[in-house]
Structure 1
């Protein structure tokens, strides 16, 4: 008997323990079913699961009346403008014409001054280039030049300045004098002074001649004439001179 009581007591304790462990789950299940039942009631669903649907009735009249359409004339009505609109239009036309005339006048003044000056300068530049390109290319080695010689003269009497009319030639080469000095000044169409740097060997021959640039000279051809004349120049031989002695020859051209 006591053993049975102990058994039942242990069984009750076990159920109580299980109940305590699952009380929240049981309560949650009950609450869920209560809410589900309430939802069925609100949605008007019966216990069997049949949904009650309300019938929607739409009544159509036997004859649908057509909308009345006012007859409009297919011909376009002439646009009637008031005197005020006509005045505004005339004012706008006058304003546009005035603005156009002012713009044209300003453009004409611009073209008459700045643009035309630039255009004239550009045309002159093109003309100068075309004239330069149209010049016949001359082989300088074929050009004949008069030559100033000092044959039979006393070396002490020879000067380094040679005059040919209004033009002159001056050379600078220490302790040397010319034997043959070509004169190119008569070939020039334009004028100016050209200096040619030269190198002379001990035998008196010019081994190098380079004309210095001179921006004041317009006829660039005279630079080539001066350089060719310098390269043809012959000085006296001097075994004591440097192997490549530096000097210069200055040519003054007078415009023809």
Structure 2
């Protein structure tokens, strides 16, 4: 055991020196390898161009004088004629298209002018107010109550009203105003003083002249009946207007 210890002490420094040497040598190689890998030099790429670029060689033209007349003589007139014909076709198409749009535009413009004129004429016409229309009036002033009838004739037309225990004092007659014909029934409400408070014409589909309804309704609203303090506050009745077509 002592012999091994003596050998160890005798050679320990040599062994350590050898290990240190090999470690340093290994580090040196390692550093050299890293430096070689890290310092890679890039070589520039150089592109060289020649000083003079040779012009491409053109093939020699053979028999130029003989071939030129054959190609140029027939081609040139055909090109000009084609150009001329194409130009004429373009001009004809443009002209016909312009004429088409011009005529259509003029038609629409004329129609618009006529419509504007018609609207202007209609707007310029004065709208007649029904209150301004004068109507003949049937009155019972000075007449005996028993002689007053509820049916009034005006030519071939007639006016007839139904209102219990009341008679007319003033009864406008509108039957001559309209061109169309037919019978219009107007529902009325009359107060105790005899005034017509409300008047509404009933619909009659057989009458085409709608102005008749307005005339009948206006005439009914102008009608005046006798006063009656014993009558209902609003007494209901009807007035029938028969219009004869003119």
TM-score bracket for this pair, using the shorter chain length? 0.5 to 0.7
Corresponding residue to 1:209 among 199, 216, 222: 199
Match of 1:162 in 2: 152
- Counterpart Cα distance in 2 of 1:219 and 1:125: 21
Corresponding residue to 1:128 among 122, 136, 141: 122
What SS does the aligned partner of 1:132 have?
A: coil
Q: Once the 2 structures are TM-superposed, how far is the Cα of residue 123 of structure 1 from its aligned partner?
A: 4.3
Match of 1:97 in 2: 95
What SS does the aligned partner of 2:152 have?
A: strand
Structure 1 residues 185-207: Cα deviation after superposition (integer angstroms, max 9, x where no partner):
27736555654331123454433
Residues 139 and 91 of structure 1: CA distance in aligned 2, closer, same or farther (over 3 Å): closer
Q: Once the 2 structures are TM-superposed, how far is the Cα of residue 88 of structure 1 from its aligned partner?
A: 1.1
Residues 88 and 32 of structure 1: CA distance in aligned 2, closer, same or farther (over 3 Å): farther
Q: Once the 2 structures are TM-superposed, how far is the Cα of residue 164 of structure 1 from its aligned partner?
A: 1.2
Residues 185 and 231 of structure 1: CA distance in aligned 2, closer, same or farther (over 3 Å): closer
Residues 197 and 119 of structure 1: CA distance in aligned 2, closer, same or farther (over 3 Å): farther
Q: Once the 2 structures are TM-superposed, how far is the Cα of residue 97 of structure 1 from its aligned partner?
A: 1.9
Match of 1:83 in 2: 81
Residues 172 and 225 of structure 1: CA distance in aligned 2, closer, same or farther (over 3 Å): closer
Matches within 5 A, 1:49-128: 82-105=80-103, 107=104, 111=108, 116=111, 123-128=117-122
- Counterpart Cα distance in 2 of 1:31 and 1:224: 124
What SS does the aligned partner of 1:36 have?
A: helix
Structure 1 residues 25-84: Cα deviation after superposition (integer angstroms, max 9, x where no partner):
xx99975751323443x429xxxxxxxx99x9xxxxxxxxxxxxxxxxxxxxxxx97222
- The count of residues paired between Structure 1 and Structure 2 equals 193
Residue 148 (structure 1) aligned with residue 139 (structure 2) = yes
What SS does the aligned partner of 1:185 have?
A: coil
Unmatched tracts of structure 2, length 5 or more: 13-25, 47-76
Residues 122 and 93 of structure 1: CA distance in aligned 2, closer, same or farther (over 3 Å): closer
- Counterpart Cα distance in 2 of 1:213 and 1:127: 31
- Counterpart Cα distance in 1 of 2:115 and 2:160: 38
Unmatched tracts of structure 1, length 5 or more: 13-26, 45-52, 57-79
Match of 2:224 in 1: 233
